[in-house]
Amino acid sequence: MKRYIKNTIWGGILILSIASCSEDLLDLTPKNDITADQVYSSEQGYKEAFLKVYGSLSMTSGGGEGASDLAGIDAGQSDFFRLYWNIQQLTSDETLCGWNDLGVPDMVYGTPDADNIMVKGLYTRSLYTITVVNEFLRESTPEKLSARGISNTTEIESYRAEARFVRAYQYWVLLDLFGNPPFITEDNAIGKVSPEQIKRPELFDYVESELLAIEPVITPAKQNEYGRADQGAVWTLLARLYLNAQVYTGQAKYTEAITYASKVINGGYALGSSYANLFLEDNYETSKDEIIFSINYDGVKTRNYGGTTFLINSLINGEMNPVSFGVPTGGWGGNRSSKALPLSFSDYSGQTDKRAMFFGDKIENDELGEFKDGLRVTKFKNLTSTGVAGPSQGGTFSSLDFPLFRLADVYLMYTEAVLRGGTGGSTAQALNYFNQIRRRAYGNTSGNVSAINLDDILKERARELYFEGYRRTDLIRFGKFSGSSYIWPWKGGVKDGRSIEDFRTLLPLPSSDVIANTNLTQNEGY
């Protein structure tokens, strides 16, 4: 159901304000006159509080596009997806940004420091969502439900499983990018207590244990309302966790990655018939069998300057006719491709491999601040598959839902895990999944291959998943993010690129939090 998350009711929800992660994350005293007993006095109250969990992924606050739950960062920049996308993409070989906004150039160079606003923003946003989940779990225990006379506990148990999934996902984000963050759960005492730090291997174990615990109790795959997590989302995140396990813990878990990728593949999902439709406003209809978990947006009801509003507008300018992207008054002109991305295609015209969606005629990136240096990406549009514009307040905001997890990624995870030596799969099946993706891309068998290696996997992930927020993690897993074995334009802050240090495979913890919380030790190198 398309509007499930989009019609979120915010009245009566505890709106938390976080200024310092170390001091205030555990201080859940309301900043208004509404108490927990009032919010959670009915089944409807629990539903509204539960929707805040999902709302924290798609909105900056319940106060409209000019408000944010986070202190110290511009509201428009405080959206989860915008922050996550910037960190994953701007630091990679795929994306350049022409803006000179605070923190952007250092992110493009791959050299952000502990005061970078995007680093602090994502760190705080993820911990904020975790805090929202913790509060919901504290207030929805069997004891609390009984004391409040709540009888429909079955539905609330489903809410709890989904909330734990969202928390596990946010801890995976922190695991992947920061490694050693502060750690809080519903079991922590409420009050001004500095959270303890958790080390990367232990956080891996926690995320794994949470996902395995909710796997049998969350709604079965493809049975939940659109936009809500189910078993398919749990399996996908487990597959992703295991695929990167060697990076996180030093111990490979490719067999486990195959196991959970296979569960997704056999869970009733199917590739959509059209690659382009995945990134159009009615993807919830045309691509519903491929999309496993999405972040839902509405250009009228849940407006903010992040999400797909940011994604679409930052990739186009007036020269590109914003009307043809469903945002007639938009077009901010900022993000475009590094030359490495189009060159990953044998033909980036889009005539053979239909996934190549670019605008412009200059592939080189001579000037970082010049939007027209490098090809513009035209993959995302606030238009339906029939060309109708999606809802858009003022003609700028987007109603395109972002497919956070989708089947094609799982096919490639399975294939990579097989090639890396995992058991329980087969090279023949891996090749079959690889070629299924390419057949959709080419519209026929002309793109099929007879053999693949790991380099082929990384290149195919670039072609299939570009600008979807995977690339930094992929480059690190393949050993190409740091060092000098692979260089791209502006890596390290110079036009032709240079080596960057290995310690940068982890982001720094924000300096303000390290100073405030004596339990935290800064990541090596910062």
> pLDDT tens digits for 443-499?
999 999 999 999 999 999 999 999 999 999 999 999 999 999 999 999 999 999 999
pLDDT recorded at residue 34: 63
Secondary structure, 3-state, 67-124: CCCECCCCHHHCCHHHHHHHHHHHCCCCEEECCCCCCHHHHHHCCCCCCCHHHHHHHH
Q: Which of 10-19, 41-50, 286-295 has the lowest mean pLDDT?
A: 10-19
Pick the closest to residue 59 from 119, 8, 4, 122 (CA basis).
Answer: 8
pLDDT recorded at residue 30: 36
Q: Please name the amino acid found at residue 5.
A: I
Q: What is the mean pLDDT of residues 91-101?
A: 95
Give 12 or 228, the one with higher predicted confidence. 228
Q: Residues 413, 414, 420, CA angle at the centre, nearest 5°?
A: 85
Q: Is 305 helix (H, G, I), strand (E, B) or coil?
A: coil
pLDDT recorded at residue 5: 44
- d(C-alpha 255, C-alpha 259), whole Å: 6
Mean predicted lDDT score pLDDT of the chain: 92
Task: Give the list of residues 6+ apart from residue 526 with CB closer than 8 angstroms, or none.
Answer: 113, 114, 503, 508, 509
Confidence bin at 6 (pLDDT 50/70/90): very low
Share of the chain above pLDDT 70, in %: 94
Structure tokens belonging to residue 93: 């070989």
Q: What is the mean pLDDT of residues 220-234?
A: 97
- d(C-alpha 158, C-alpha 154), whole Å: 7
The CATH topology of domain 1-218+482-526 is 1.25.40
Confidence bin at 27 (pLDDT 50/70/90): very low
Give 111 or 37, the one with higher predicted confidence. 111
**Phi, psi dihedrals of residue 196, rounded to the nearest 5°:** -75, 155
pLDDT recorded at residue 191: 73
**Phi, psi dihedrals of residue 159, rounded to the nearest 5°:** -60, -45
What are the angstrom distances between the C-alpha of 521 and each of 21, 31, 116, 305, 513? 14, 31, 18, 33, 10
Annotated domain spans of the chain: 1-218+482-526
> pLDDT tens digits for 110-137?
999 999 999 999 999 999 999 999 999 9
Pick the closest to residue 115 from 507, 506, 510 (CA basis).
Answer: 510
Confidence bin at 9 (pLDDT 50/70/90): very low
DSSP 491: G
Q: Which of 36-45, 301-310, 426-435 has the lowest mean pLDDT?
A: 36-45
pTM of the model: 0.94
Q: Which of 90-94, 191-195, 377-381 has the lowest mean pLDDT?
A: 191-195
> pLDDT tens digits for 230-257?
999 999 999 999 999 999 999 999 999 9
- d(C-alpha 420, C-alpha 400), whole Å: 35
Q: Using CA of residue 28, residue 19, residue 303, residue 105, what is the dihedral sign?
A: negative
Name residue 333's beta-bridge partners.
none
Confidence bin at 33 (pLDDT 50/70/90): low
**Phi, psi dihedrals of residue 130, rounded to the nearest 5°:** -60, -40
> With 60 as the cut, is the pLDDT of residue 20 above it?
no
- d(C-alpha 364, C-alpha 96), whole Å: 11
